[in-house]
Structure 1
Amino acid sequence: MPQFYVTAPQPCPYLEGRVERKLFTSLANRSAQALNDTLSQQGFRRSQNVLYRPSCADCSACLSARIRVADFKPSRNQRRVVKRNEMLERNVMNAWATEEQYDLFRRYLDARHADGGMADMDMFEYAAMVEESPVVSRVIEYNDPTEPGHPLKAVCLTDVLQDGVSMVYSFFEPSLAPRSVGTHLIVDHVALAAEMGLPYVYLGYWVPGSPKMQYKSRFRPLEIFYQGEWTDLSQIARVDTEKHPLTADPIQDQVAAIQLPRVTDI
């Protein structure tokens, strides 16, 4: 039986002036895959050997988001992005870290997230992020065969779930930002999920009011885990992200409401 814990409050990385708190559990080796499958369907997210979900006292803005693969139709702009990046070649690899990946990772962080929480990660910490996965994970590399040496241009660490693929973390050559490579990676993961016969692409958290998370709402149909169930974003007139601290469910009630894998799945 997994044990759940709560982090101490700390500044929210998405919304200025707010405080975040996470409910989390560890991924034990024997039950890791079943737990990752089941809790991902309930708004949880994986980080190495931990599954977590926001549990903030006065805010519910972080909403787990996933694309419904069968109904996805790229917008005109997304089709243009795919065309601009059509030279990139996808290679699905085992979850193994390389120096070429890390060099690209460092360039990406230095250019786009120099003051972020991952800014000081060294090669050993990067390798741990990639390789210390107790679930089915893959590194998906994107190379450019039109350039000498087929250089690495983008990488995505991706989990394979029972009902989809989860984009855990992605990064790309910062000089390619004008080509919207991040958008290309998401559209390509929709194609990858379709090839695998999986119904969803999990994007992590969509945060209304956070400019850096707004891009996720442009992938339709997008479902969000809202008020305890998956709902098409287009069916929600207004997403309520505020809650009074006195109305927040106690942690023990939140834990009691979590559906765990069947014993036969563990």
Structure 2
Amino acid sequence: MSNLATLRFFSTPAHACSYLEEHQATTLFVDPKARITPELYGDLTRIGFRRSGDYLYRPHCNACTACIPARVRVADFTPRRNQRRVLARNAAVRVEMIRPLFTNELYQLYSRYIERRHGDGDMFPPTQEQFASFLMSSWSDTRFCCFRDPLGQLLAVAVVDLLSDGLSAVYTFYDPARSDLSPGSLAVLWQIEFCRERGLPYVYLGYWIRRCRKMRYKQDFQPLELLLDEQWQDCPLD
């Protein structure tokens, strides 16, 4: 294991929480000057850190523990009936995994998604600079997983980081006009299958927040493990 003890951490002042109204949040950041290796990134992911651009962070709120790191245990995952329907509806969709890059096609999809789905959030309005600084990183092994329909139209992009024990699902954006295809669920199902085929045990889904509707979807992917009291625990949330 990498030497986490040598890292320095910094915390932000209290600020408005992005997930729970009328809550204040504090965020713990890894020193931006630290040299992040793949091994160190994996170790930080396993203790609940996430990536935003080049920054590694996790919630560090004194009075609240609502944000709980979550990961899918791939080997034991079986799609539910509604998830099998999602896979059937998207049987003709093809996925291309590419290195991160900026193109007008990718950015336009990202922009439409933010404007339609997160117009009331702190990511609005979207910008080209935000696209690059949020999704890309100078040190991570990142891929853009591009989902296209049979006509070649871009439906969704799942941004993932490759880890030694699986994938970290950084962010997914999709065409709001094609939400009937459940592209968000499709992206997670595809990541699980990608890991299964390669013998990788986990898909890290970020934070599960019971009181936040937008973050509760993660409990649909069972078995889900939650990081509670610094231990990953099997937590059925049906």
Q: What TM-score bracket applies, with the shorter chain setting the length? A: over 0.9
Is the 8 Å Cα contact of residues 146 and 158 (structure 2) preserved in structure 1? yes
RMSD, aligned CA: 1.7
Query: Which residue of 43, 50, 53 corresponds with 2:48?
Result: 43
Q: CA deviation at 1:202?
A: 0.5
Match of residue 207 from structure 1: 209
CA displacement 1:91-138 (0-9 Å, x = unmatched): 000111211000000111111111211112312331233333311111
Q: Which runs of 5+ in 2 are unaligned?
A: 1-5
What pairs with 1:174-185 in structure 2 (closer than 5 Å)?
174-185=176-187
Q: Between Structure 1 and Structure 2, whose CA radius of gyration is higher?
A: 1
Higher relative contact order (CA 8 A, sep 6+): 1
What pairs with 1:196-235 in structure 2 (closer than 5 Å)?
196-234=198-236
CA distance in 2, matches of 1:100, 1:3: 39
The amino acid of 1:215's aligned partner reads Y
Q: CA deviation at 1:173?
A: 0.6
- TM-score relative to the length of structure 1: 0.83
CA displacement 1:127-154 (0-9 Å, x = unmatched): 233333311111111111x22xx11110
Report how many residues are paired.
Answer: 233
Match of residue 102 from structure 2: 97
SS at match of 1:35: helix
Match of residue 123 from structure 1: 128
Is the 8 Å Cα contact of residues 21 and 56 (structure 1) preserved in structure 2? yes
- TM-score relative to the length of structure 2: 0.93
Q: CA deviation at 1:79?
A: 0.4
Q: CA deviation at 1:52?
A: 0.8
CA distance in 1, matches of 2:12, 2:43: 21
SS at match of 1:127: helix
CA distance in 1, matches of 2:168, 2:109: 21
**Per the alignment, do residues 95 and 214 of structure 1 end up closer, same or farther by CA in structure 2, a change over 3 Å counting?**
same
**Per the alignment, do residues 166 and 78 of structure 1 end up closer, same or farther by CA in structure 2, a change over 3 Å counting?**
same
Match of residue 255 from structure 1: none
Match of residue 187 from structure 1: 189
CA distance in 2, matches of 1:188, 1:105: 19
Q: Which runs of 5+ in 1 are unaligned?
A: 238-266
The amino acid of 1:76's aligned partner reads R
| Range that drifts further, 88-97 or 23-32 | 23-32
The amino acid of 2:233's aligned partner reads T
Match of residue 74 from structure 1: 79
SS at match of 2:170: strand
